[in-house]
Amino acid sequence: MTEAMLSQDLVRNLAIPPRPEIVNVLFEEMSRDEPDLARVGQKIAADVGLAAAMLKVANSALFGGSGRARSVYQAIDLLGMRNVSSIATGLVIRHSLGGGKNAALERFWDTAEKVAMICAYLAKALRGIPVDEAYTLGLFHDCGIPLLMERFPNYRETLARANRAPDRSFFSVEDEEIGTNHGAVGYFLARSWSLHDDLCNAIRWHHEPDVFRDSEVSETVRNYVGLIHLAQHVQHRQMRSTTDVEWSKFVDVVLGHFALGEEDFINLVDGAQESLLQH
């Protein structure tokens, strides 16, 4: 698999955001035998945008909600500390990486939110993948893209060319044009935020079909990468856009990995699309 490295100069120019205070608090409390839920609730409630997003997720059908959570504290009670920690870590990435700065980034994050919801639905349907981790993965997997948009003025053109390259790895197009790729940058950010290794590696290799053939790659990473491509394909179909070039590179290995026949796949996609319309 491609092993792209980040030069020291590029790292300095990317302005990798430090781990936010709320994530520090979540990590601290998750490490305790008895987490201080009041402290977590206060931190989340202090950020209006994060609090609203947390309530939206808590009340979604994907997390068993039914509109019952009317406060952050009720959301924590309904979701549990583990879910709250994972989901909140994913949600704050938007603010940390310039959400709201411009129309292009707003579209990017709106799509990331949809992909995250699809990931959560698929995780419930496929089993074996925690829903909270799937949601966070959906928000985080392309986190290198906003950083590269800020660093390289023509990066969107590079993305467009990578998306239209049927016979080349997505990452190889980026590597050739800018000297790194969004998987490597996202991996660096995820590691700097102390996210767990499997999530970091899924971000690093999510455009590499070889993860399904490399015996040294964990089953969890394979699950994550397969989930990403299923979710992105659902989103692609939902948008009724052009041929999904990237899915054509992954369809056989992903369906084989999850042991999905044609009818299973169609039912899964239809269910995910219907779920997306409800949110």
What is the rounded CA–CA span in Å between residue 276 and residue 267?
Answer: 14
What CA–CA distances, in Å, run from 255 to 75, 103, 266? 35, 35, 11
As a whole number of angstroms, the distance between CA 79 and CA 66 comes to 12
* Tens digits of pLDDT across the chain (279 residues): 655 566 666 766 777 888 999 999 999 999 999 999 999 999 999 988 889 988 888 888 777 666 678 899 888 888 888 888 988 998 899 888 876 567 778 888 889 999 999 999 999 999 788 999 999 999 999 999 999 998 899 999 999 999 999 999 999 999 999 999 999 999 999 999 999 999 999 999 999 999 999 999 999 999 999 999 999 999 988 887 677 899 999 999 999 999 999 999 999 999 888 887 766
How far is the C-alpha of 72 from the C-alpha of 57, rounded, in Å?
A: 11
* Structural domains of the chain sorted by starting position, each given as residue range(s) with its CATH number in brackets: 20-96 (no CATH), 101-279 (1.10.3210.10)
Question: Where is 190: in which H helix or E strand?
Answer: helix 182-192
| Dist. CA 271–CA 262, nearest whole Å | 14
Q: Which residues of 106-136 are buried (b: 16+ CB within 10 A; e: fewer)?
A: eebbeebbbbbbbbbbbbbbbeebebbbbbb
- As given in the structure block, the two tokens for residue 61 are 């059908």
Rounded Cα distance, 231 and 18, in Å: 28
Model confidence, pTM: 0.90
